[in-house]
Structure 1
Amino acid sequence: MATLWLLIIFGAVIALFWTSRQAAEAAKEHAQHQAEKLQVQMLSIACKQRRLGILRNGKPGIKSQFTFEFSSDGESVYYGTLYLENNRLVKADIPPYRIT
Structure 2
Amino acid sequence: MDVRLIAGLILSPFLIVFVYAMWSELLRWKSEGRAQYGLTYSEETGTTHVTALEEEDAGFDPETFDPDIANEHWEDSGTPDSDDDTQTRGT
| Structure-1-length-normalised TM-score | 0.33
**Larger proportion of strand:** 1
Q: Highest relative contact order (Cα 8 Å, sep 6+), 1 or 2?
A: 1
| Structure-2-length-normalised TM-score | 0.35
**Larger proportion of helix:** 2
